[in-house]
Amino acid sequence: MISGYSAILNTRRLAVAPLDLKPRLLALIEREIERTTSENPGHIMAKMNSLADPDIIEALYKASRAGVIIQLNVRGICMLVPGVPGMSEYISVVSIIDRYLEHTRIFWFSNGGSDELYLSSADWMPRNLDRRVELMFPILQENIKKNICEILRLYFQDNTKAHYLMPDGIWKRRTPSKNEKKIRCQEVLHNKEKKRKELYEKNPEREFIIRRL
């Protein structure tokens, strides 16, 4: 497919750039708009390195105007302006810079209660969505999906290394209030992995199971 010596194949689960990844993302955002009500607003959470694609940004503005709650964790470049009344008041953008350099892209859509979770190689930028070969795929196994969602939510709870983008373009660091527990996202994940490793070394899993889908 990349070289041109094979026909472009339709895929049921995979979204592939530059063919249909951006159209799929735009359709997922539009679906949140369609399923949003005042009693049950749509909800999007996304984690990426950079956000600069004009079509995606405009779709997110449209979703915000429709009442969709949008939480974005953007580590670097962000050309979206959050918190502007009448345009992006339901959008928040947080950046977390800490010890580890991260590259995960996680996209979650509430989908009216039947939530969907995706992992991807692509940032929401024209070069990734229009000019590179990139993939996005859904997480279908429920225990893995639950674990990744918990990790994603943790990024919006950080009150130690988190900076929030203001409507005027200034990044404001979040600090815990007097009686609030300090949460440092990378530290929490590091400690969980350290504990998991220690438990595994004490009781290594030796069962090998072949799974066929």
Size of the chain, expressed as the number of residues it contains: 213
Question: What tokens does 87 get?
Answer: 């345009």
Residues of the chain with confidence (pLDDT) below 70 = 205-208, 211, 213
Q: Is residue 6 part of a domain?
A: no
DSSP string, 31-99: HHHHT--SSS--EEEEEES-B--HHHHHHHHHHHHTT-EEEEEESS-B----S-TTTTTTEEEEEE--S
Q: Is residue 7 part of a domain?
A: no
DSSP string, 142-187: HHHHHHHHHHHHHTTT--SSEEEEPTTS-EEE----TTSPP--HHH
Q: How high is the pLDDT of residue 1?
A: 72
Total domain count, the chain: 1
Q: Is residue 96 part of a domain?
A: yes
For residue 178, the tally of other CB atoms under 10 A from its CB is: 4
Q: Is residue 44 part of a domain?
A: yes
Q: How high is the pLDDT of residue 12?
A: 86
Q: How high is the pLDDT of residue 4?
A: 76
Q: Using one digit for the tens of pLDDT, what is the confidence trace for 164-205? A: 999 999 999 999 988 899 999 999 999 999 998 888 888 776
Q: Is residue 4 part of a domain?
A: no
Find the CATH number of the domain harbouring 20.
Answer: 3.30.870.10
Q: Is residue 22 part of a domain?
A: yes
Handedness of CA 119, 121, 72, 12 (dihedral sign): negative
Alpha-carbon distance of 99 to 74, in angstroms, equals 16
Q: Is residue 157 part of a domain?
A: yes
Residue-number span of the structural domain to which 27 is assigned: 15-202
